[in-house]
Chains A and B, each alone.
Chain A
Amino acid sequence: MSQQHEPHHHHDHDDDDVQGHREHGAPLTEVELRVRALESLLVDKGLVDPAALDAIIDTYETKVGPRNGAKVVAHAWVDPDYRRRLLEDGTAAVAEFGFVGRQSEKIVVLENTPTVHNMVVCTLCSCYPWAVLGLPPVWYKSAPYRSRAVIDPRGVLSEMGVTVPADTDVRVWDSTAEIRYLVLPERPAGTESLTEDELAALVTRDSMIGVAKVRA
């Protein structure tokens, strides 16, 4: 899922913590203590099944992610009939791949073209099409993206490496309901000989949010 983000600002996370354990015996932070206490209370009261927690985490860490959406996009690129179905009824066309579920009750697909650039945000929380893209990245949930995407979309796009010509329409989709938006990015030139799988490998998560172009 690693992508090219050269123009961006990076900040590191606590690598010791990512694997789910602390290697140096550092004291737990307040938020860690609270989550641990809440989880133990829920389990002790029989309100959550610990094995269910593991299954939920496994689903979103290993099964559902942006590769789902990439398959949909690549298929739409090679099959004009599927592309038509996808744009007419995104929910049904995505479900043909078996991609259904939470945070994807209704999916609307937005086609990017040389004259129209669509991008997706949720200013009020962080709504995101989980069934096709998995859980959202941190930047999508962050105050800078949520605040600026609607008032300065071209500035945000420029920072993220996408220059939109002045004569191209920019459409920002603020996900204020349970409808989830997936961008169908433009197929890059020079990919005529690629197989569907090879095309899917080119499709990045960010291109399906509308903040990147697909590169050949």
Chain B
Amino acid sequence: MNGAHDLGGMHGFGPVEIERDEPVFLHEWERRAFAITLAAGFLGKWNIDMSRYAREQMPPAEYLASTYYGHWLFGLEKLLDDTRLVSRAELQATLKGGAVQTPVPAAGVRVLAARDVEAALRKSREAKADEDVPPRFHVGDRVRTVNIHPIGHTRLPRYARDRRGVVTLDHGVWVFPDTNGTGRGRKPQHCYSVRFEARELWGADAPSRDAIHMDLWDDHLVPA
């Protein structure tokens, strides 16, 4: 979706500001939001692409006014409501101090136990696919990105649509976030690092020695 999250190339946000001392979490609520988001992810009711898509659906004005963990909180509330694990009505009732029923958790959830946290956080394999899918492109191939503006999720940034680049690395077969994030299947396919000259993306005023690489899938690319 053409949301506020797709920030590449926007102007007007000012200089990069560095926090003094840079604590891992600025506020206690961020620490809690981080932990409950990770823990709830282990319930197995959504994947990482759905998490990103949920955050992207924060209304643009709110997204830009919010902090990073504000995006996370919005996404978690949405995912919990979508999966009926915690409804918005329950959250509102709790905020108002009302009594909340305690329904039995949905079938099929696995709750992350404290003793399993270390092993669970050391495991990362969730997006690499085992399927033997042939690559449609090879290193050195000239490609063009598709011009798409889906209402759903995509990892093809707006600033790189309908642009020419060169494949520089083949990362192997990965789950396709554009479908996986909206419950339309894993659609495993090759993911590549594609190099775009800065001038291809930003025009003749960009420095001739600058390039931007991004990771794109077969479905994002056509031969150029």
Contacts and interface: CB of A to CB of B under 8 A. Distances in A.
10 contacts: A36-B29, A38-B77, A41-B86, A45-B86, A49-B113, A57-B34, A124-B157, A143-B7, A159-B16, A177-B177
B159 A47 contact: no
B114 A156 contact: no
A168 B209 CA distance: 7
B112 A52 contact: yes
Contacts of B40: 42, 47-48
B24 to A, nearest CB: 5
A213 interface: no
B224 interface: no
A60 B19 CA distance: 18
Chain A residues touching B, range? 35 or more
Interface string A17-35: 1111100000001011111
B122 A60 contact: no
Given A8-B16, A47-B40, A134-B24, 14 more contacts: A11-B20, A21-B28, A49-B112, A49-B113, A55-B117, A57-B34, A105-B125, A125-B5, A142-B13, A160-B16, A166-B207, A170-B210, A176-B156, A179-B171
Interface residues of B, number: 96
Contacts of A138: 17, 19, 22, 26, 67-68
Nearest to A116: B209
Given A49-B111, A56-B117, A145 B73 contact: no
B90 A41 contact: yes
B213 A172 contact: yes
Nearest to A178: B127
B204 interface: no
B105 A123 contact: no
Contact of A41 (B94, B123, B169, B191): B94
B15 A9 contact: yes
B157 A123 contact: yes
A170 B207 contact: yes
Nearest to A107: B124
A61 B24 contact: yes
A79 interface: no
B134 interface: no
A44 B23 contact: no
B24 A135 contact: yes
Given A108-B169, A124-B6, A147-B8, A45 B21 contact: no
A187 B213 CA distance: 24
B16 A145 contact: yes
A25 to B, nearest CB: 15
A61 B39 CA distance: 16
A131 B121 CA distance: 9
